[in-house]
Chain A
Amino acid sequence: EDQVTQSPEALRLQEGESSSLNCSYTVSGLRGLFWYRQDPGKGPEFLFTLYSAGEEKEKERLKATLTKKESFLHITAPKPEDSATYLCAVQATSGGSYIPTFGRGTSLIVHP
């Protein structure tokens, strides 16, 4: 069974204080690892897809990296508008179903 564990559950940062969110996964054949941002009362918004170990993607203050067992979402010099819940999800290649498995998310609050 595919599993995704995100840590920490919650993170409070001061504006400008860089940090990283972790996503550990267990999957039988990784098809892709995905990061989403979810604001309160809204659906998830897609951020990045990572396919293989060593891959990195960047978007503004966010950078996602991938190893064979985990992914990190690095937030550099965050701003209050980066406050949101960040979700990680995986899709496996086995079975052909491609049903995604999401983690519980990390709730990030950035104080001005």
Chain B
Amino acid sequence: DAGVTQSPTHLIKTRGQQVTLRCSPKSGHDTVSWYQQALGQGPQFIFQYYEEEERQRGNFPDRFSGHQFPNYSSELNVNALLLGDSALYLCASSLGAVIQINEQFFGPGTRLTVL
């Protein structure tokens, strides 16, 4: 049983560009949450997708958007990249609409570097 997978592993972009990160949830899970973890910081909740809709959103600007597909996989899009967007982006999958973080399984993350 594959756990949560994310792609790509690493990514380098320049300021102003746009990026798309991808996540496949653990088998049997239907909910995907995205987190941003800057170096030396804890993860910050970006948003959660359930039934192909954004259900919860943290304190992130509209430059951060997402999508969930019928197979429960998800994409995180970031537009107009800033240097401060450099971070490890974590995807976590779970079951059901309510955020039960003790039942979330995290992927290995995508390391985004913005130059």
Binding site for B on A (CB under 8 A): 4, 32, 34, 41-46, 49, 87, 89, 91, 97-105
Contact = CB atoms under 8 A, between A and B. Distances in A.
Contacts of A34: 101-102
B106 to A, nearest CB: 3
Given A87-B42, A103-B42, A98 B98 contact: yes
Given A97-B56, A99-B56, A46 B43 contact: no
Contact of A43 (B42, B56, B102, B106): B106
A101 B101 CA distance: 10
A34 B42 CA distance: 13
Nearest to B3: A43
Given A89-B101, A99-B58, A99-B99, A41 B108 contact: yes
Contacts of A46: 101-102, 104
Contacts, number: 52
A99 B44 CA distance: 9
Contacts of B4: 43
A100 B108 contact: no
Contacts of B58: 99
B41 interface: yes
A97 B108 CA distance: 25
B88 to A, nearest CB: 9
Given A34-B102, A42-B109, 9 more contacts: A34-B101, A43-B90, A43-B108, A49-B102, A98-B98, A100-B99, A100-B101, A101-B45, A102-B42
Contacts of A4: 42
B99 A87 contact: no
Nearest to B57: A99
B56 A98 contact: yes
B92 interface: yes
A34 B56 CA distance: 19
A101 B44 CA distance: 7
A82 to B, nearest CB: 19
